[in-house]
Every structure is written in C-alpha cells, then in structure tokens.
Amino acid sequence: MNKKRIFGAALSLCAAMSMNAGIYTFKIANPTEGAKIEINWCATGETTKVDVQNGVATLNKSGFASQYVRVYYGRAYALNLYLEADKDLTVNCDAEARKFSCTGALADINNYMLQSPFASLDFNAAAKEEADFIKSSDSVYNANLALLKKANLPAGFAKKEQQRLLFKSYAMFPMYMSYHPYLKKMDSYTPTALYTDKLKQLAIIDGNCLEFAEYGDFIMNAILCQAFQGGDRSKEFMTFMDANVKDAKVKSYIANAYIYGAVSNGGLDGNDELVAYFHKNVSDQKLVEKFNAICKQWEGLKAGCPSPSFNAPDINGKMVSLESLKGKYVYIDVWATWCGPCRGELPYMTKLEEQYAGKDIHFVSLSCDSNKSAWEKRVQKGDMKGIQLHLGTNSDFMQKYIINGIPRFILLDREGKIVKADAPRPSDPQTTKLFDELLKK
C-alpha cells in the first residue's frame, strides 16, 4: 500500500469543478514554493500537473468519463477521489491533522472515500497459517463491503467500488508467499492448493481493472510471486507473462513497471532480453521515452566503462579519491548509519575483509549520512575494517551511479573501470565466487 508520508505545514485544499466547464480549483494554505497539484486519472493513466500560484491552482478539463483519481500535493501521499463530469466537489484537507471533508454534489462519495476506516492486513498477518490467513483476508473484504453498504451510495458507483475494494482488501494476499517463510524463519515454503487456488481466483487478468490504482499494485505482486521460482528471474518473468497474461493492457502495465524498475535499480548489464521484451510489449510513447531515458543514463555504467570518481574524507579528515586506489580491485559499499539493511550487511562485510585481507582488493565504505557526527561515532567504535569515508548527501558520485536506495555495492577493476555497477551484497554467496574469479586474472 505504497503511501507517501505528508511533510510540512498543514494545508487546506479545495477542488471545485463547475457544472458545465469542468473547472477545478485547488486552494492551499501555507503552500510549498514550487510545489504543484498533480492529478493521476486512473482510467487513462494520464497525469495532469497544475502550478500553484499564491496558494491557488486551477485546471480546466471537460469531456472525461467518471473515474477514480489520485491527487498529490508536493510530497503528500495520494488522496483517493472519485470524479464525475458536471458535478461539483470541494475537498478541504488539513494535512497535519489528517482530516478531510467534502461538500458539493460528489460530497457523499468522496467523504466515504476519504473518511471511511477501511480495514487492512499488515505485514505480520502473514505469520498465520494458510487457512487462518485466508479467513482474515476474507474478513477484511467483508468489513470493507459493510462500510460501502452503510454509506448507501449511488448504485453505479457502488458496483464499481465493490470491485476496487476487492483489490484494496486483498492487497497483502500475494505477498504471503514471501512474507510467510520470512516471518516463520523457514528455509523453504511451498504453498498448498488452498492458497494458490484462492490467489488465482483473485488475480484476474483484465485491463479494464487498471482503472483502479489498487489493481495495478495487486496484479503486479500476484504475477511476480507466481513467476519467481528461484532461478533466472528475468527468464521466469518473461516465460510466465507469455504463458499467463494475454490481455495487452495488463501485459504492458506489468512489463513497464517491472522492467523499468529492474533497469532503474540494476542497470543494463545482463538485461538485454528484458529491454527487448519491454519494447515488444510497451507501446505508450511517454512510457517508452521515460524508459529510454533511464537506459541512456545506465549506458555509461556498463561493465568496462570508467567509473565516476569520488573524493571524500576519512575519520581523520584525510581526503581519499578513487584515483588513489587504482592498482587493486575496489569493492564499494554505499551506506548510512540509519539504514537497517545497510547495518545488516556490516558483519558480512567484515568477514569478507578478513577473508581477503592482503589480497588485491580494497574495501571502501562510503557513508551518505547527512549527520556526519553519527557516522563518526559509528566508525570510532573500531569494529569496522576497510576504508571508511564520509560522502554525504547529494553527491555527484551517487547521482551518476543512479543510487536511489541503499545499501548499494559497486565493484571496479584495477584501472578504475566498472566490473558491476550493481554488485552482489556481502551476504550473497555469489560475491566470494566473483572475487575469486577476478583475483585469478
């Protein structure tokens, strides 16, 4: 349920649509300079951005079909609304207090959308055994249907909303296959027909359902959890998609979401078939342009390309550059003290450093902590080996490596050229195999 947290001062947002012209006006208290109102039209996938000037943003739009929309303001999470042409709506939003109220012709529907205490399952629910988990999931859906029935909304909307609630209520269901063995500390887990039959029943392949934002997230997770069987993920993904997803709209949606994410986070090395699969199944020009742009960024990070450089201080203030480390392989860990997964890799990093001590490889940890004192305090404990440097935030090195999440590991050769721009983690057994192969050269 990928909600973004609201930051900053409270805002008051009003959205008004005229009876005839489709004019939407957004009035925002304490507006953030440069922020925009962003409306995502779920039925078409269009995004409309509107400038905010002196706390007011106005949009003229007509001739659209009734549909769900998601409204974003700055870094605020999405407000789920439902709009019909030629009906007015005013939404008052106090972002800090998390209070929302609507007036106008669509007030009843949107007060229901914004104020209903929708039920949901959290991550820990996946610890339940299959039968209990399914029962809990069904209970969530029934509770949400009861909220809809109590709201006594127009029949046309209620019919559509019942389907949206299906995907909203069962959002956690596809994740059970990976969350359950993790929570139960199981080495392996194969779901029974009790679970897989229910998942197949829920995971309908229907492009019309993409008008519900919740369907996109649900079907993406449902496809991936069924496709991945522990082998080559790219091949498993493409094979499963071709065998099971015949609807062109759904296939395009999932291909774009998965492959864009794979390339954006992992680069182009080894992804030639995925890139070709993207272009085979995604024809929307805006999506293609966005994908081509991220591919172009990664072109300079392919194996054999010169690495972007860095020059950062160690704990004593001495500046260390990438150029000064040439002559050995360089294994880089981009991390931060506040990052749980980063800290989880530290013991494995220490073991690697001990295992390859005296070998032809530098181990470099680049901290992107904004709080330098937190990094200094951690390094001064004395249990971290290797070369410890403070890179800080918004570094050119991180931008050029397209580092959107940490930890991120990078492996360079003796000349400072890229071996892997997204290298395996210290905890991955493939890391030692890779090191051993390189050190034989």
Q: What is the mean pLDDT of residues 227-241?
A: 92
Residue 1 has a pLDDT of 41
Residue 231 pLDDT level (bands cut at 50, 70, 90)? confident
- Domains, the chain, in order of start with CATH, read 15-115 (2.60.40), 123-299 (no CATH), 311-439 (3.40.30.10)
Q: What is the mean pLDDT of residues 194-202?
A: 95
Q: What is the rounded CA–CA span in Å between residue 114 and residue 157?
A: 15
Q: Using one digit for the tens of pLDDT, what is the confidence trace for 97-142?
A: 677 888 888 999 999 999 999 999 999 999 999 999 999 999 999 9
The residues near 407 (Cβ < 8 Å, ≥ 6 apart) are 333, 334, 335, 339, 341, 342, 345, 425
Please report, for residues 81, 177, 264, the alpha-carbon distance to residue 114 in angstroms, rounded to integers and kept in the order given.
8, 31, 33
Q: What is the rounded CA–CA span in Å between residue 96 and residue 15?
A: 18
Q: Is residue 29 predicted with pLDDT exceeding 80?
A: no
Please report, for residues 15, 20, 27, the alpha-carbon distance to residue 59 in angstroms, rounded to integers and kept in the order given.
10, 13, 12
Share of the chain above pLDDT 70, in %: 92
Q: What is the rounded CA–CA span in Å between residue 71 and residue 79?
A: 5
Residue 77 has a pLDDT of 59
Q: What is the rounded CA–CA span in Å between residue 263 and residue 261?
A: 6
Task: Examine residue 407 and say whether the peptide bond preceding it is cis (omega within 30 degrees of 0).
Answer: yes
Q: SS3 of 365, please?
A: strand
Q: pTM for the complete prediction?
A: 0.78
One-letter amino acid for residue 111 of the chain = N
Share of the chain above pLDDT 90, in %: 67
Residue 61 has a pLDDT of 75
- Please state the φ and ψ torsions of residue 387, each to the nearest 5 degrees: -95, 115
Residue 74 has a pLDDT of 63
Q: DSSP for 8-70? A: SS-----EEE-TTT-EEEEE-SSPPTT-EEEEEETTTTEEEEEE-BTTEEEEE--S--SEEEE
Residue 33 pLDDT level (bands cut at 50, 70, 90)? confident
Angle between helices 248-266 and 213-227 (to 10 degrees): 70
Q: Is residue 362 predicted with pLDDT exceeding 90?
A: yes
